[in-house]
Each structure stands twice: as C-alpha cells, then as structure tokens.
Structure 1
Amino acid sequence: MGLADPVVTLLGPDPSHRNCVLNGNAFQQDAIQSFNGWQYACFYSPLPGGGAAEPLFVHVARRRLPHGPWETLVLDDYPQTTDDGHNTVQVGHRVRYRFSLPKVALSPEGFEWEPKLFRCTLSQLPGLEGEDELFGYITYPRFGQLGEDLWFSWRTGKAGLGDDHLSVYRAGTGRHELVGGSGSGTHLRGVDGNPYIHGLHHRDGRLHATWVWRGFVWYEGWDDPADTKHKAQAGPNSAQNNHDICYAYSDDGGRTWCNGAGERVADLSRGESIRPDSPGIVAFEIPRGSGLHNQESQAVDHSGGVHVLNRDNLDGEQRWKHYYRSSDGSSPLLAHPLIGPSGFVVIPSEGTWTQRALPHVKGLYGGKRGQVVVSRDDDLYFVLPDTEAPTLTILKALKDDGYSTYELVWRKEGFPPTDPLVDETRLDYDNVLSVYTRAVAEGVDVGAKSNNVVILDFQL
C-alpha cells in the first residue's frame, strides 16, 4: 500500500459508555484546525483524573506543529449531560458560543494554555444579539474561512423541516453580520423539507456549497415543542427521504448565489433564498429511498473542481460514490475521455458532473460517513470508516489521472465506527493528512468498551 503508518497522538478518553458518538461526526466543521503554525482540536471527555464518567466537558487542545506535545484545557463550567449525537462541541439546541481573548491564535507562544483565555459562554453571537428567533433552536453550526474573516452557518427547525442560515464573523471587529444585511441570512430555504449541506468551502474568492434535500412527512404532534420523533434514525422522516445532490456558488461571500451554469438564483440582500424549485441547482437527480446520506463530505480542488462523497443504490447496489464537477478552467478529465454505453467517446465539458462508485469499500445505507479531501498536490484522499468493523480505509485518486481511479493506500483495524475528520488547512499547506478519529484503547480487558480520541498524522 502507498501510505506509511501514521504517527498517532492521544487527545483523551472518549465517552464510550454513551450510546451516541460525540467525538467524530461529519457535520463538525471543524473539530481539528491548523493556524499560524499550531494545530487545535476539541472534544468531549470526562474531567481528567480517571474519576466519574459523567458529566462530560469541552476539552480544547493545541500543539505546535509539526511535532509539539498536546496541551489541553477543560472548560469545566458547561457540563454536557444529554446522550444525543447532535450535541457535539459545535452543536446544541440553544447556541452556546465562546471565544478567546484577542491574539491568542496570532501569538500562541505568549499565552499559557488555560481556561481563563476563553470568555464566558454566550447564548447569542456578538453583533446578532437581537436575533432570538434565529438562535433559539439550532443544529449543525459550522465555521469556515472566508478570506481574513469566517463564515458561520447553522440550521433552524428540525430534521426534514428547516432552513440554513449564513453570517460572517468580521476579524476586524470581532462581531457577526448576517449575510445580505438585515433579515435572516437564509441562503438555503426548505419548503416542506430541509437542506443538509456536505459543507461550504471558499477557494480563490468563490464559496461553494453542495447539499441534499430531505422531504418532510407530516405526522400528528409535529409542531409540539417537546416532540422528538424527527430525531429518529428510522421512520418517515429519516434519511430515506433524502433526495437530489445540489450545487450552487457565490462570488461575493454568500450574498448572491448562482447555479452551475452561472445563472443567479438568489440574492439574500433582497430577501431571496435558494429553494428546491430554484432552476439549475440539481447536479444529480436521486429519488427518495435511494440510499442517499446527509452531511457526508465535500472538497474543492485548486482548479475549482468540486468533489462530493456520498452514496446511493441507483446502480442496483448500495455504494459509496465520488461525484465530481470539473473546474471552470482546464479540467483533468478532458485528457481522459469516458467510453459511453454505446462505445462512443464522451469528453466531459468544463463544469460537467460525473460520478463513479468507489472500490474496496461498501458504503452501507445510513452507515458512518467518510471524508474526501484535497492534498497540496491536488490529489484526492478518501478517508472511510467501516460501520460493521473497527477498520479505517484510505483511498487515493490522482489529479493526473483525472480522478478516475482509486488506489487503496492504507487500511488498518483498531478504529471503531466513527466519522473521521481531517485538518484540511494542514493538508493544503504542509501536505500532512491529520485525521481526527477514535481508536480502541490498548490494555483494556477483552469485551470492554473503551476508546480514545486520537490524531493520525500521515506524511504524504
């Protein structure tokens, strides 16, 4: 295989006694992130010292790259007690928001790593204090880079019935602004459904978004504030109602959005949103009941090509697939024609979507999600868990091959089913694949359930 075994470092014990996984979910964007020569990671764990397993607390770790030891602080004023996999460090029903003192990330050597670096927990975002309706009941908050600023997205509503919103954190002021000015900043509006994004990525001035829709099946009590049926992993409002892979982009930080043909479909400053009936947004028509997952993974290569990892059963077998939109510039696929079903040569044009099933892996319905990421050399890596066994697999697709073949470069046991996460910034700059996942704890009695949160560093 093509990758040497990684350097493994330990963050801390995982709360493996819980039914729901809190450390390692695909919608955590990002639980591991590099900046200014340091790497940061966050996770839930009990208080240090081997005492009580409950409650759990937010742990924030940092290390100087490339080989510094981890320093970890514990925010012990916010106990986490609910066994719900949505409640990751980023996610909660009422927003919980903390930020550090100024310059902690810019000058890390000048600060001892301790909890007092972080201000108290807020239930609103600075700059958006009056937006109670937007932050009273949220899920899936995400941060990402937007030049020198950060975009922040979140969902309101419930599974199958909600909207996605977008704000920008301005580095110069330390405050958030709704994209598009006054209003809801709603870039994706669900109509009898809700969007589930694979991610948002900003590359060379363009913000890319891909997502699936989930339709809603109405039921008695759906509007009861205490209702929890929408959280069920099986039933009328589960992933079986996911449909279509969609794409849109913005060249002005999320204010206006265009479909893949460059036609404007929404202007948030005018109160518009992308809706299920917006023209030209569907990249792949995939019906409900086709095994499509929600919130799997997205990547954007250095040429502007868009890559989506998801799965479907349209070929008669449930398989993980690589869905690829060639760049608006020169596409590597142009040098690798495809042979059509009638034997004709099909040359994908610029901006054309293609799809291929991934070999060596299964991609079960509703199984753990994987990650697709882009290296500094513009090659793709697929980091894929196994839902049925403690196995982690990595596939590689070369840019020079048009991302058309997938090589098995690493596979090992000892990693319980987890959505692996990747430090995309470190991969982009240092060509090191840092994978955040869980590993079976060593020296534990056979049959015991004990895992650790670990980082795997692969030098590419």
Structure 2
Amino acid sequence: MPGKASRKPTAPRAFAAAHAKAGLALTASLLALGTAAPASADSAAPEVRMIQQSTLDPQALYFVSYDGLVNSSSYQQSGILTHGGFQYAAWYTADRSAVVARRALGTTRWETVALPHRLSVDDSHNTISLGISPQDDRLHVAMDTHNNPVHYFRSKPGLAAGRGAWQAEAFGPLQRTLEGVDVGSMTYPRFVVAPNGKLQLSYRTGQGSGNGVLELAEYDGAWHELGSWTSSTGDYSANGGTSTTRNMYLHGLTYGPRGRLHAAFTWREGDNSVLCDPGGLTNHDTGYAYSDDQGRTWRNNTGEQIATTGTDQRVSISSPGHVVRPSGVDHALINQESQAVDSTGRPHVLVSRVPEDATDCVTDFTAQRRSQGRVYHQHREADGRWVETQLPVPLEAFGRTRIGFDRDDNAYAVMPYGRILTASKASGWTDWTLRFDPQDFNAFGEVLVDDTRAAKDGVISVMYQQRSQGTTPSPIAVADFRLERGGGRIGNGPALAAGPLSGLTFERS
C-alpha cells in the first residue's frame, strides 16, 4: 500500500539497481536473502519474561537534540555494562552532573556517585561511555565530547572488582587527556576489552560527520595511541553528484570468542549533492572489516588485508571487498545501529532503512523512517556469505535497535520504546517474533542494553528514559528480562519481582 513499508524481502534486482545507482559494484556471491518468519505459537524463538525494574534517577536531565537523548543513544556502546558481580550505569542528572552507579547483580539497589563535572552543552552526542580494564579493575569514564577534548575519569585500581569505597574520590580528578596522552578533539568514544585484557578506546577525529577518521588507543596501565585506521578521502558518485569526503560510522566494535575484532559500519558522505532530495541522508552500504591482531591490521570480508593502523594504508571507500550489503543513499539508512558476535565467531548486525521497494527517493529521512522504516538483521555465514532478514515489526521510530545473544546463541533485538523480539539459532535467526511490547515504559525511543550481562547470568538489562516535554526532567529506569523456553510469561504488564518504579506514573506514548 502507498505510504507503508512492504514486509516482503527486497528483491536481488532492487539491490543491484540501488547499488548501480550509487556507482558501486554488487558482489552477488557475498549476499544471500532471507525473510522473517511470521510469529506463531510454536515458534522456536525464546519467550521473554520481565523479572524486575529499578529506578536509576526519578529526575534525570532531559532535552532532545539530533532526535535523541544524551542519556540514551546507541553510540555509547557501553552506557550500562557488567563486570564481575556488579552492573554499572551512567547518566546526567537534572542539574547536569555526571553520575556513575553500580549494583550487585540480582538486586535493585543502586549506589550512586556524582563526579565533579557537569554537561557543558545541550548536545545528545555528548553521552557517557564506560569501560573497565580487567588487568587492574579500573573503571574508565569518557564523556561530554563532540569534536572537543574528552572529559575523562579513571578510578583507583580494584574499584570495578568491589574493592574500595564507592565515592567520588575513587575516580580522581577530571582530565582532558587520557592520563596525559593528548588525542586531541574526539567524538563517539567506545571502550572494548581485547583478548589479552587490554582496554581499547575507539574514537573519531577530524572535521565532523562528513569528514572524519577513526582512531584507536590502548591501555595497559597507561594509555598509548595506536593511530588512525580509516580514511575520509575518495570519490563516491550518485544522483549526478560526487562526494570526496566522508566518515565511517561503526555499528559496533566487538571481539569474538577467537580473538577476532569485528567492525561493521556505514559511510556518511560529506556532500549532499549525491542525494536524490535534500531531505535525505547520505548514509550508504553495510561495510565490514576485521582484525586478527587487535586492531593493528584490517582485512575485508574475503580475508584480503586492506589497512594497517597508524599508516597511510587505511580502510576507505576505495578498499576492495568491504561492502557486504549494498544500500544506496536514498533510503534513510541510519548510522551506528548495533552489532554482536555469536559464540561461533559470526558477526551479526542490525540496520534500519526505508525499504527499496517502498520508495526510490526519501525526501524527509526523519519522518519516513518513522512511517516506512524497517529493521534488518544481517549476519555472516562461515563461507563468507551475508544473509539479510527483515524483522516483522515496523520501526515506527527514528531511532535504532540493539542486538545481542543469550548463552545458546538465540538472538534478541530491543527496538525503540523497549519492544523485544527474539529469534532462535535453530531457525538460522529467521523466526523473529515479537515477545515483549511494553505498556508502561513510555520510553523516549532509543534504549540502552547491557550486552555483557546475558553471558553472566542470562539476564538482559534494558536502560531507558521516559518521554517528557521540552526540558522537563524525567525518570531513568532499568528493566531486567530473561529469555526462556516455554512456560514463561510473555508480553505486557508490571514487573514480576521486587523493585518496581515505586511512586512513578507511566503513560503509553
């Protein structure tokens, strides 16, 4: 029907046409198609049971910029995470103070610490990202940065293992460098732990969304720069225009069980002349590269080395074999959605866009993502083919969806507003089924997910902020779920265990 996204899988000819329009070649051997199975009573997709909720802050900072919230944006990667027997979360309070909190797993009581820094500008890019260095059990906090020097704290050794008092003094003074390593202005800090226990930090430098490069730094008790590994230069042509600069936006940076570092991404062009309409978005393609030496060198989907970090040989628009799912600039493809790796080492990516068979030209990317957008699961098979499956639930939002796995490699997708779908490994992740549709969250849109906890105790923690008006502060909460096989409670309603959001009123948005 006109104005509505089709649920049919995109035809191969549409892939080829869209990619040809962008001036790129389609490697058909690397792409297979799938479609989401309809929900059914006998679906193997796990059920979802909410076990408890807890309040982080009844009055947290709230403002909307770039269609997002500073306390809940996908590019934080780790706004909530688990280490040892504790879960950690961070946000800005109503008075703009940066707060870090922790709780023992299985409880609803959060201990909070207000750090000596307040958010400097109303910009949803300036999120708080957390990282933990397991070699010394320090908690690292990078925040309030969008093309400016980072605001950084590093805790005392052992704090992330429960040793020492949970107080502001344990985090030391505010720093504008990484313990003396000046990496300049940065955006999108992401922490990731390498197999050898070293903590790494990914971040963007450069001139912004259409002309930036990605860099890596590494911590082994002290920070060291590894250098840049992406390039912003090269030519991209579409719709009669040519762009000569761009930025790589990561869907995630994730180590697999065999020590391989996976990076799925999309490109954002710097020149809007490549668009069919000025109201569109210049994001295009799903790209993929991996590193088997902890980010020092990078290979494409077929194993060919295409980059060496810290040199002039970097992943670029011209790198061979890096596009694994062609998608043109005219379909409101979002950047920085999500990525996860299963126990066999296969990377999985969620992306969202307006389907190719819904329109040839997006003229208002925000409105059309809400009215026509769909979410797609893309994963790499052992033979290098990438399979795409369309989720059966319309996006109905501007924001992004998070993906993760339970201990049996069943997948879950947490959509905007806290909707949860699951898919079974047994089906090849084609039986995506809506398992939880909250009636009382009133979440703004994008939510954060602790993708480190499921492997610890089988619980999925979803952190969300309630919708508000203007700049009126609103509650931030965490809801905990279990994925179950049969007999579990599915769907809507109040929490099933202790820890409800007492004293708060929820309304359906």
Same-fold status (TM-score > 0.5): yes
Counterpart-to-counterpart distance in 2, 1:140 and 1:296: 13
State the shift of 1:13 in Å.
Answer: 3.2
Alignment deviations for residues 392-437 of structure 1 (CA, whole Å, 9 cap, x no partner): 3100011011001211110013332232111111112211001111
State the shift of 1:383 in Å.
Answer: 0.3
State the shift of 1:43 in Å.
Answer: 0.6
Q: Percent identity?
A: 33
C-alpha distance 270-83 of structure 1, shift in aligned 2 (>3 A): closer
State the shift of 1:239 in Å.
Answer: 6.5
Is the 8 Å Cα contact of residues 162 and 195 (structure 1) preserved in structure 2?
A: yes
Alignment equivalent of 2:175, drawn from 119, 122, 132: 122
1:207 aligns with 2:248: no
29-38 or 249-258: which moved more?
Answer: 29-38
State the shift of 1:327 in Å.
Answer: 4.0
Gaps of 5+ in 1: 47-54, 180-184, 220-234, 329-349, 386-390
Q: Which residue of 1 aligns with 2:329?
A: 288
Counterpart-to-counterpart distance in 2, 1:377 and 1:319: 30
State the shift of 1:326 in Å.
Answer: 2.9
Alignment deviations for residues 271-292 of structure 1 (CA, whole Å, 9 cap, x no partner): 4211110000001111112110
Counterpart-to-counterpart distance in 1, 2:470 and 2:179: 47
Is the 8 Å Cα contact of residues 352 and 374 (structure 2) preserved in structure 1?
A: yes
State the shift of 1:71 in Å.
Answer: 0.4
Letter of the aligned partner of 1:392 in structure 2?
G
State the shift of 1:324 in Å.
Answer: 2.4
Alignment deviations for residues 232-258 of structure 1 (CA, whole Å, 9 cap, x no partner): xxx96x871111110000000000000
Alignment equivalent of 1:152, drawn from 197, 201, 208: 201
C-alpha distance 454-252 of structure 1, shift in aligned 2 (>3 A): same
Is the 8 Å Cα contact of residues 239 and 293 (structure 1) preserved in structure 2?
A: no
Alignment equivalent of 2:464, drawn from 437, 446, 460: 437
Q: Which residue of 1 aligns with 2:453?
A: 426
C-alpha distance 140-98 of structure 1, shift in aligned 2 (>3 A): same
Q: Which residue of 2 aligns with 1:353?
A: 386
Q: Which residue of 1 aligns with 2:346?
A: 305
1:43 aligns with 2:82: no
Gaps of 5+ in 2: 1-40, 42-46, 129-142, 234-244, 359-371, 484-509
Is the 8 Å Cα contact of residues 450 and 460 (structure 2) preserved in structure 1?
A: yes
Alignment equivalent of 1:217, drawn from 271, 281, 292: 271
Flag as ranges the 4+ runs of structure 1 deviating above 4 A.
446-450
TM-score (norm 1): 0.79
State the shift of 1:16 in Å.
Answer: 5.4
Counterpart-to-counterpart distance in 2, 1:186 and 1:279: 19
1:141 aligns with 2:189: yes
C-alpha distance 85-448 of structure 1, shift in aligned 2 (>3 A): closer
How much is the aligned-residue C-alpha RMSD, in angstroms? 2.3
Is the 8 Å Cα contact of residues 438 and 453 (structure 1) preserved in structure 2?
A: yes
Alignment equivalent of 1:99, drawn from 154, 164, 168: 154
Counterpart-to-counterpart distance in 2, 1:239 and 1:273: 28
Counterpart-to-counterpart distance in 2, 1:262 and 1:152: 24
Q: Which residue of 1 aligns with 2:251?
A: 198
Q: Which residue of 2 aligns with 1:87?
A: 126
Q: Which residue of 2 aligns with 1:231?
A: none
RCO higher in 1 or 2 (8 Å CA, sep ≥ 6)?
Answer: 2
Equivalent position SS for 2:75: coil
Letter of the aligned partner of 2:352 in structure 1?
R
Q: Which residue of 2 aligns with 1:405?
A: 431
Q: Which residue of 1 aligns with 2:309?
A: 268
Counterpart-to-counterpart distance in 1, 2:165 and 2:106: 19
Q: Which residue of 2 aligns with 1:456?
A: 479
Equivalent position SS for 2:290: strand
C-alpha distance 61-88 of structure 1, shift in aligned 2 (>3 A): same
Q: Which residue of 2 aligns with 1:4?
A: 49
Q: Which residue of 2 aligns with 1:336?
A: none
Counterpart-to-counterpart distance in 2, 1:239 and 1:363: 18
C-alpha distance 371-277 of structure 1, shift in aligned 2 (>3 A): same
18-27 or 56-65: which moved more?
Answer: 18-27
C-alpha distance 245-408 of structure 1, shift in aligned 2 (>3 A): same
